Structures are given as structure tokens and as C-alpha cells.
Amino acid sequence: MLLPEDLDLSYDFDTMAKAGSMLGSGAIIVVDDTNKVVDVALKLAKFYKHESCGKCSPCREGTNWTVKMLQRIDEGVATPMDLDILSSVQDQIMGNCLCVLGDAMAMPLSSMVKKFRGEFEEHIELARTRNPYPDEVAA
Amino acid sequence: MPRPERKTITFSIDGREVEAAEGTMLVDAAKLGDVEIPVFCYEPKLGAPVGACRMCLVEIEGIPKLQAGCATPVKDGMVVHTQTDKVREAQNSVVEFLLVNHPLDCPVCDKGGECPLQDISYGWGRGRSRMVEPKRHFEKPLALSPLIAIDRERCILCYRCVRFSQEVSEDYQLVLQERGAESFVATFDGHPYVAPFSGNIIELCPVGALTSQPYRFRARPWDIEQSGSVCNLCPGQCNVSYTVRDDRVLRVLGRDHAEVDDGWLCDRGRFAYQAMHVDERITSPMVRDGGVLREVTWERALEEASKALGRAKGGVGAIAGGSTTNEEGFLLQRMVRDALGSPHIDSRASGTLPVGLHAALSAPATQATVPDVEFAHAVLVLDTELVDDMPILDLRVRKGVRRNGLKLAVATSRPSSLDANAAAVARFAPGAGEAFVAALDAALAGGEVAALAAAAGAEEDAVRALADLLRGAGEDIVIVWGERLTHGERGAQAAQALLKVGSRLNPNPHPGAGLLEVPAGANSRGLREVGVLPGIGPGLTAADAGLDTPGIAAAAAAGDLPALYLLHTDPLRDLPDRATWEAALERASTVIAHGAFLTEGLRDYATVIFPTEPPAAKEGTLTHTDGRLQRMRQAIGHPGDSRAEWQVLAELSRRVGLDQQVLTAPMVFAQITAAVPFYAGITLDAIGGTGVRWPVTDAASAWPAGDGAPIALDAPAAAASPNGKLRVGTFRSVWAAPEVEASPALKFLAPKQRAELAPADAERLGIGHGERVLVGGVPAIAHLRTGTPEGSVFLEEGIEAAPAAAITDPLAEVTKA
Ligand code: SF4
Ligand code: SF4
Ligand code: FES
């Protein structure tokens, strides 16, 4: 994920990789600041979970677990500690899969958590206050 | 395709220099340096690696990303690390991912204690869980089949079971439904997974997702012992390991032998162990007393038997069934020949071959081995349905075609389950094997084919296509031929035709090519070699001429043989020509049988019955059809009052006047190796757990010279022309066996008589699929099967309620019942 200050970078594989993004197929998604980062992350993770073929375990289980974690964050059943697990799971996916589909989720998600940690934490706090049972994970 | 030659290379792993064959996958090569790389999805028996689970990630210098060790062939100079932080981190990660959806079932899971997932989590995992979300849920356990339970929550989606079904047994039933994290294992149509090799997936599953219904909750790994032996239910002689608890066999596992079974078992071999412990099993000697069979003491039974044999003396006819060990066969033939002075002993179902033909058909120089089937340029499957007659070899043929570019030719009467894999298929009329092989010989020689093909009831073009395929394939040609080809009155002529085709296809005998017989019984080859044939003694030496099996039946029916000795065979179940056998059993005043179950011949006619010990209680040797001597080892004690049968035979022999000087089974084996020159020097220790192929020992030079292939063949017998009736062919299904009927878990597979008809014939006769019919008086259910040659009907052998052996004419009328 790139921030407004990164907009001046040149659009090639190496530069993008250095900036912590990935050129992939070359598509760019522009997200404006009216969106909540948690929504963007969840939408992205759901997309990859749905696209995962399920053959290799890091991608199959990693995308699936990531969605579950983000849903918890969204619903107010999480603590800021979960953000560490979330990013560690992204690290565990990256580079370990059979193809790059898993990486394509892990890269942006991990930079989202890094670059918008504050917004994530804020969301967690707010959502917890709205949730009458903030410590119970629904079975 | 011949075995690839691979050069040896050196690579380094965790600082050790290791030598391995080039192209070996890293996980296997690592073992050579005592380095273990954990795996889940990798199983070389299943073919090319899929690299799915990612458990085997390793670091290779010069490659930035971690690589799957199971899918990376080792190269010269490669430098591999499995102990770096990066690798450990990846291993921890994969274990964690696999446990994301895996339930905490270990305390109630059959796999617990022998579970790769437990072991690898312990050895390569972080040891703590960070996952608090709900796991996925399925209804569990479900019956994937009556034999296999599936627990989808435990499945780690390693693909092994699906790959087995798709790429090894090729029954194409198992698939992964859905996608991604929603994937689950199921049959494609939701029907139960019933297939001849289904049980292998239980052993393949690295977790407790697939468990054996009959074994579920019967034992824990710390309650049991494993004991190696050999399956004696068919000529495959797969290496098995019995799971024993409290002197009972609770499970049968494969004991991988790459040159025998390739690590698989059929479901009969895997589940029929139940028949060892059922109440119906005969476990004490019985004597017919006032017309009723009663359990008696050993003393009484041995006394009755020895008195009756003593009275009959030269008038004893003895037949050994295919599961008889070499030791039992050897003791039997000595007792019958030397103590009772009767030459009438046989182990073949129908007809004799001169010793020179036996010698030629199994000659070491032209003896193909089981692995040769996989690596030949072409294989001809002749007059045998492997999945029924020697199931495990069916998998080997499929493997050759799928993985090694083997060209397959199939020539049978009944449509074969291998037809779909074959590059050429020919059909001939039931019983016309001789004419067919003669036609094939003519086609190979470029001679006149039409008349011979017509005599065989085969299509000339099909014969020619088969010949072209075999001739053009390459120099390694294996003929896998069914013993039934050489049965009957013209068996010798058929054998000669076979030898001639064999020498045409392999003019220069060399390893990797030749003949491989599919015998009718599990140890048929061994029985022939230890002298259980009329006129042929141990080591294929000459013995006094005697009656063969049909001769024994006819003589007994005529009142000329007062005593019959049936070692592991019920003629009414196992042998053709039922009417004569009924008369023979009725007329003989003494019928001594060794049996496990009271099948009808024993129930109605036996005068003395000795219990057949369960296979897991047996000690003895078997000779595999490619010449491998294998050992059956005793895993359990003798149930009830039963005794070792070699001991029974030795004792009986002593009582009729011949002390065979044996106190243990190994002493019998020592006598065998002394009497059979081509077994000379082979010891039980050398046979050990993997067997010894005698054709490659020095003693093989003592094998007698066989009859050469004849210059000209006899005019073959022509197939009967149907003339309004249908030609009757028979086959024996893998499930037509008393131990299948007796095993509660397998019972549902015991066949009912069905008449396989070509749809066109059925239409002409006005018979619909599933209707009741009579075939020459035998009741059956009509089974319309496309591919069945018109003019033929096929019945199953070995079905007590509707015996195909009741039909002796080659033609029969098929009518609605
Ligand atoms: S059921 Fe067992 S063998 Fe089949 S995919 Fe699941 S874990 Fe693998
Ligand atoms: S293929 Fe034959 S030897 Fe192998 S397990 Fe089955 S019955 Fe036993
Ligand atoms: S064992 Fe290598 S990826 Fe599964």
C-alpha cells in the first residue's frame, strides 16, 4: 500500500518492491480517505480468500484466518495485540506459497497494518465499546 | 519404458556432503544424510509431487525463496539448509496454518499416537496456538463407505486420498469439492466410495480424517503390536503387517515392498482379517458321526483319518488348494506318495501339462518380474482379469501406462477393466484362448490370420492391431498370462502356442522381459515346485504317473478312489464340473478336508475335517509367481483347538507309517531346499522380510530344461458356434471368497450370481437389465454390459447359491426365469 507521499515513484517492479508494494498484474486500486482502512482490508482479504484455490496450506489457511481476524476487529472482539498476530500471519504467508496469490494479499495487508496502525487501533477501541460482549468470540 | 539410469551426484545438506542419484527429490536425498525434512502431501507412491502442504520448505543457496524439498530434484553441488531461522520460521508457520482448522480431537482420534500431524506439530511446530476464532465444522464422522469413516474437520487437505483415487487406482471417485478454505473430500456424486482398493486411503491419510470402520476405537497404538507376514489370499502375495491386540488381528496394513505390492493392498487383503475371528470359523477337528459332523478330540480325528487312509492306501486322491504353503504341500505329497503309495495328487484345477512345459513356462531366463511389468515397453495381458485374479498387479499395469509410457495390449474374453488404458484390445470367445494365441502367433509371423481368428471367435483386425503394437513397441515385452489359458484338455497346446508367441516377442531372452503367469491360486507356483502335481515330484523331478484333478473326480465318482484328501479346497466351490464332483464326494467313503468354513462340499460330504489355521497363525513359505520365496510368519496363537497344519500333516503321516522327521516348520523348509535343487542354499533367514527370488540365485541353474517352442502349432480347437445359444465364460471375482462372506465388514461385497450379457443379445432374447434369468439352468440376474462380445455370457465362479460350475457345456441357453 502506498501513501499520498509515495505518488511520485516510478512505476516499475523494483521501485514498487522497494516501497513495500507489488506491481503484480499492473492494476492500481485508488482508495480515498472517506474509506475506513479496516473495511478496505476486510474486502481485500475476503476477495483473496474467495480466490484461493485451496491447494497449498499457507494461502488456504492464511487467507481464511486473516478474514476471521479482520471480522473480529470489525465487530469489536479484538485487542490491539491481534494486530501483531495479523501482521505475523501475513509474514507467514509471504514467500511460502505455491503461487503468488497468497503474497498478493499478504503484502498490502501487512503494509496497511504498518502504515495505518493508529486507525486500526482506533477502530478496535470504538468497536469494542459498541459490542456488549467484546471478549467473546462467536462460535 | 526401461528403467531410467541415473548418475550419482554429491550435494551438501546442513554441512554434510551426501551422495544421491541425480533427480532424487530433496526430501529423499536428505534421508541419505540422516536429515529429516517433514512432509505431509509428499508420497512418491502417488506419482509426481504436488508441493501442496509446504511443510518441506528448505533453503537452497542461490535461490532467494524457500523451496519445497519434496518437489525439488537434487543437483550436483547443491547447498541445502534445513536448520536456518528462515526455514524454522516457515515450518512453524505451516504447522500453525494446518492446525488452524484442525480440531483438538487427539484423545478421541484413532490416529492418535501414530499420527504424522501430532509428530510434526511436536517436532516442527511452535507449541502454542494463537488462533481464537471458531474452526470449520462438519457433521462427523460420516461413512465415506461401509469400510471407511471420514471426519472432514480433521482433514488437512493434503490431496493424498484424491490422488490415489484419481491417479493410482483410477477409480476416479474421490474429488475435492468446493474451493479454498471450503474444500472438502467427497466422492464426485455423493455415493459411497466402494472400489477394490479403497482401503489404501486410510493408510495414506496423514491425519485421522479417514479411519477404518472395522478398526475404529478397537485399540490404541500402545495396546498393539505389528507383525509382518504375507497375504495368502491371491497370487499377489502382498506383504502385510498384522495389527495384533490380545492375540487377535484387528487390522491389516501394507508392508511396502516395491517389487511385490508397491505398498498397496486390495480391500480383500486389508479387511478379510475379520474372518480369522468369527464364530463360524472351524477351530476344532470334526468327524462325521451318524451322518452328523461333530467336534471331536484331535486324537479321535487323527485316528479316524489315519485308519481310513490306511484302508484306502493307493486309492487316495489328494488335492491342494492355492493357499497351501510349500511346507504343507511338501508334507502332503510325501505322505500320499511315500506312505500311502498313491500317485494321485494335484494342485491345478484342470488338466495336466507335461513337465517340459512347466519348465519352459517358468524358466528363469524368460521369467519376467513384477517390476518388469511397470518398466517394459509393452505388456500383453492375456486371458486374465487382473483386478479379480491378482488385484495388486492391476495397479502396477496402470502405473506403467500412466507414468512410464508403457504400451498395453489386452486380450481377454470378458471386457477388462484395463481396456480403457490399453492401446490395443482384442476379444476372443470364452475357452478359445489357444486359437487366439495361435492367431496372434500367425499375425506376428505375417502368416494367415483369418481362419485362426475365426476359430478363436476374434476379429482379424483386432488380432493384427495387437500384433503390430507388440512388434513395434521395443525389445522389453512382458506377457502377463492367466493360468486358465492352460486349463482343460488342450491346455498343453495352448501353452505351446503361448511359448511360441513368447519367443517371437522376446527372441533374445534378457532381464526385463518375458512371461509372468497369473496363477489360479496364491501359491500355485510353489506347489508345483515342491511336487504337488501328478507325475511330477519336488523340484520338477519325475514321479509315478497319477491322476490329475479332473481324473481324481472321475475316478472317485466311478468308485475307484475310496478316499479324497482336500487340503484347503472345497471342490464344489473352487473347481469346475460340479456334477462329477458331487458324485465323487458322494461315492468316496472317506473325505478328509482341511477347511476354515463349512462350505457346502465340507458340510455335506467331509468325513473328517481339520481346522485351517488363520493366515495370521501360519508359519511357512510361499513362492510368488515371479519366483520370490516369501515367509508367512506367525502373528497370533492358534484360536480354539486349532493346530499348525504342517504339524497335523506330519502327525497324520506318522500314523500312516511315514515319520517325516519334522519337529518345526523350518525343518520342513530345510527338507524342501534339500529336495528342490533350484531352492538349494536358500535359508529362512535369507528370505527374511523381503524374500529371495530363486531365479536369480546360483541354484537357478538346476532348473530343468524346458520344451522349446514348437516349430508348428497344432490346429487349435475352434470355439463352439453359438447357434442360438450363448457361449459360457466364467470368471472369479475378487469378492467371491469364503473369507469375504465371513467378514462382517466385507459381507456387503459378496457377489450374487449375475449373467453378463451383450446388450444386443439381451435385446434379441427379450431380457432387460436386472431381470432374473436362467443360464443353462443356473439362476442369475441379467447384467447388460457394453463391451461384452455378442454371443457370449459370463457367470461368476465360486458362488454357492448359484454355481457356475454346474454348467459343463461350452454353450448354454439363456432364458427368463
Ligand atoms: S482426508 Fe486425509 S488424505 Fe485425504 S486430503 Fe484429507 S488429510 Fe489428506
Ligand atoms: S492383492 Fe492379493 S495378495 Fe494383495 S492384499 Fe489383495 S488378496 Fe492379498
Ligand atoms: S511435502 Fe512438500 S509441499 Fe507437501
Give the domains, in start order, of chain A with CATH numbers. 34-130 (1.20.1440.230)
Measured between beta carbons, the chain B residues lying within 8 angstroms of A72 are 133
Q: What type of residue sits at position A99?
A: C
Query: Which residues of chain A neighbour B59 with C-beta distances below 8 Å?
Result: none
Residue A139: band (very low, low, confident or very high) from pLDDT cuts 50, 70, 90:
low
Cβ neighbourhood burial of B449 (10 Å; 0-12, 13-18, 19+):
buried
Contact A56 B159 (CB under 8 A): no
Cα–Cα nearest to B102, from B221, B251, B205: B205
Mark the ranges of chain B whose per-residue pLDDT is less than 50: none
Query: Which run of H or E residues covers position B600?
Result: helix B600-605
Smallest Cα–Cα separation from B46: which of B395, B405, B394, B408?
Answer: B395
The answer to whether B39 and B51 have CB atoms below 8 angstroms apart is no
Report the C-alpha gap between B192 and B149 in whole angstroms.
10
Which atom of ligand 2 lies nearest, measured to the CA of B261?
4
CA–CA separation, A106 and A87 (whole Å): 8
What is the rounded distance in angstroms from the CA atom of residue B239 to the CA atom of residue B256?
7
As a whole number of angstroms, the distance between CA B793 and CA B813 comes to: 10
Q: B104: left (phi > 0), else alpha (psi -120 to 50), else beta?
A: beta
CB pairs under 8 A between A and B: 89
Query: What count of Cα atoms within 13 Å lies in the side-chain half-sphere of residue B9?
Result: 20
Q: Whose CA is nearest to atom 5 of ligand 2?
A: B269
Element (H, E) at B814: strand B814-816
In this complex, the residue of B54, B130, B176 whose CB is nearest that of residue A56 is B54
Residue B607 in grid coordinates = 468325513
The residue assigned the cell 460330504 is B605
Is 1.10.268.10 the CATH classification of the domain at B286-349+523-702?
Answer: no
Contacts of B89 in chain A (CB under 8 A): 92
**pLDDT value, residue B511:** 95
Q: Do B181 and A54 touch (CB under 8 A)?
A: yes
Contact map slice: B 706-765 vs A, CB within 8 A: none
Shortest CA distance from A68: residue in chain B: B133
- Cα B65–Cα B70–Cα B76 angle in degrees, nearest 5: 75
Are B54 and A98 a contacting pair at CB < 8 A? yes
**Cell, residue B388:** 479379480
On the CB side of B807, CA atoms within 13 Å amount to 27
Residue with cell string 479332473: B550
The pTM of the full predicted model, rounded to 2 decimals, is 0.96
Dist CA A57 CA A63 (whole Å):
10
**Cα B347 to ligand 2 centre (Å):** 20
Calculate how close chain A gets to B177, using CA atoms only, in Å: 11
| Beta carbons of A54 and B89 less than 8 Å apart | no
Helical H runs in B56-181?
Answer: 85-100, 116-124, 160-163
Most informative mutation of B28, B39, B124, B163 for ligand 3 (most atoms within 8 A of CB): B39
Pairing of strands B772-775, B620-623: unpaired
Atom 4 in ligand 1: residue holding the nearest Cα: B161
Cell, residue A129: 465499546
Residues B302-308: contacts with CB under 8 Å, at least 24 apart: B302/B648, B302/B651, B302/B652, B302/B655, B303/B655, B304/B607, B304/B608, B305/B590, B305/B592, B305/B608, B305/B610, B305/B652, B306/B652, B306/B655, B306/B656, B308/B563, B308/B589, B308/B590, B308/B592, B308/B607, B308/B608
Q: Which residue has the cell 508420497?
A: B43
Q: Which of B682, B680, B698 minimizes the C-alpha distance to B631?
A: B682
CB B14 within 8 A of CB B35: yes
**A55 close contact with B: CB closer than 8 A:** yes
CA of B234 to the centre of ligand 2 (A): 5
Alpha carbon distance B349, B701 (integer Å) = 29
Q: What is the dihedral of CA A43, A48, A54, A55, to 10 degrees?
A: -160
Domain with CATH 3.40.50.740 in chain B: 286-349+523-702
- 3-class state of residue B672 by DSSP: helix
Amino acid residing at A13 = F
Asked if B132's CB is within 8 angstroms of A58's CB, the reply is no
How far, in Å, is the centroid of ligand 2 from the Cα of B162?
22
Fold of B8-98: Ubiquitin-like (UB roll) (3.10.20)
As a whole number of angstroms, the distance between CA B295 and CA B284 comes to: 6
Measured CA to CA in angstroms, residue A48 lies from A44, A60, A64, A108 at distances of: 6, 9, 9, 12
- B446: buried, middle or exposed (CB in 10 Å: 19+, 13-18, 0-12)? exposed
- Say what the pLDDT of residue B289 is: 93
Ligand showing the shortest atom-to-Cα distance for residue B141 = 1
- The answer for B 147-186 residues in CB contact with A (under 8 A) is 156-157, 159, 176, 178-183
Q: Do B97 and A68 touch (CB under 8 A)?
A: no
What integer pLDDT is reported at residue B363 of this predicted model? 97
Angle, helix B491-505 to helix B433-445, in steps of 10 degrees: 30
The grid coordinates of residue B48 equal 509426481
Average pLDDT over residues A73-102: 95
Whether pLDDT at A93 is above 90: yes
Kindly tell me the sign of the dihedral angle through the C-alpha atoms of B173, B177, B179, B182.
negative
Reported as type and span, the H/E element at residue B288 is strand B286-289
| Residue B360: closest CA among B710, B677, B705 | B705
Task: Tell me phi and psi for residue B426, to 5 degrees.
Answer: -130, 145
Which residues make up the CATH 2.40.40.20 domain(s) of chain B? 726-816
For B266: left if phi > 0, alpha if psi spans -120 to 50, otherwise beta; the answer is beta
Q: How far apart are CA B405 and CA B450, in angstroms?
A: 31
Q: Report helix, strand or coil for B113.
A: coil
Q: Which residue intervals of B664-784 are DSSP H helices? A: 665-675, 684-687, 738-742, 759-765
Amino acid found at B485: L
Q: What residues does B644 pair with on adjacent strands?
A: none
Is the preceding peptide bond at B141 cis, omega within 30 degrees of 0? yes
Q: What single-letter DSSP state applies at residue B4?
A: P
Q: Which residues does ligand 3 sit against, CB inside 6 Å?
A: B 39-42, 51-56, 68, 70
| C-alpha cell read off for B144 | 465415506
The residue to mutate among B251, B268, B523, having the most atoms of ligand 2 within 8 angstroms of its beta carbon, is B268
- Secondary structure of chain A in HEC code, one letter for each residue: CCCHHHCCCCCCHHHHHHCCCCCCCCCCCCCCCCCCHHHHHHHHHHHHHHHCCCCCHHHHHHHHHHHHHHHHHHHCCCCCHHHHHHHHHHHHHCCCCCCCHHHHHHHHHHHHHHHCHHHHHHHHHHHHHHCCCCCCCCC
Give burial (CB, 10 Å; 0-12/13-18/19+) of B440: buried
**Relative to the CA of B157, which ligand 1 atom is closest?**
5
Greatest Cα-to-Cα distance within chain A, rounded to the nearest angstrom: 48
| Beta-carbon separation of B134 and A137 below 8 A | yes
Cα of B24 to nearest chain A Cα, Å: 20
CATH architecture assigned to B726-816: Beta Barrel (2.40)
Q: Give the CA dihedral B369, B370, B373, B379, nearest 10 degrees.
A: 70
For residue B738, the surrounding DSSP H or E stretch is helix B738-742
Let me know the angle formed at the C-alpha of B349 by B348 and B350, rounded to the nearest 5 degrees. Answer: 100
HSE of B366 in the Cβ direction (CA atoms, 13 Å)?
29
Chain B residues near residue A56 by CB distance under 8 angstroms:
51-54
Ligand 2 close to Cβ of residue B265 (< 6 A): yes
Contacts of B497 (CB under 8 A, 6+ apart): B434, B437, B438, B441, B713, B716
- Rounded CA-CA distance B257/B370 in Å is 11
Among B255, B261, B265, B618, the mutation site with the greatest number of ligand 2 atoms within 8 A of its Cβ is B265
Contacts of B132 in chain A (CB under 8 A): 137
- Cell 492375540: give the residue: B247
Separation in Å, CA of A4 to nearest CA in chain B: 31
Among chain A residues, the shortest Cα distance to B55 is held by A57
- Where are the CATH 3.40.228.10 domain residues in chain B? 355-518
Residue that has been written with the C-alpha cell 497468497 in this structure: A102
The cell for B747 is: 459381507
Return the H-helix or E-strand segment holding B427: strand B424-427
Q: Are B332 and B517 in contact (CB under 8 A)?
A: no
The string of DSSP letters for B621-662 reads EEE-TTSEEEEE---SPPPTT---HHHHHHHHHHHTT-----
Tell me the β-bridge partners of B803: none
What pLDDT does A18 receive? 83
- Asked if B97 and A61 come within 8 Å (Cβ–Cβ), the reply is yes
B695 — alpha (psi -120 to 50), left (phi > 0) or beta? alpha
Is A68 part of the contact surface with chain B (CB cutoff 8 Å)? yes
| Any ligand 2 atom below 6 A from CB of B233 | yes
- Ligand lying nearest the CA atom of residue B150: 1
Dihedral angle sign, alpha carbons of residues A13, A18, A24, A25: negative
Pick the CATH number of B355-518 from 3.40.50.10860, 3.40.50.280, 3.40.228.10, 3.40.50.850: 3.40.228.10
Question: What pLDDT score was predicted for residue B17?
Answer: 97
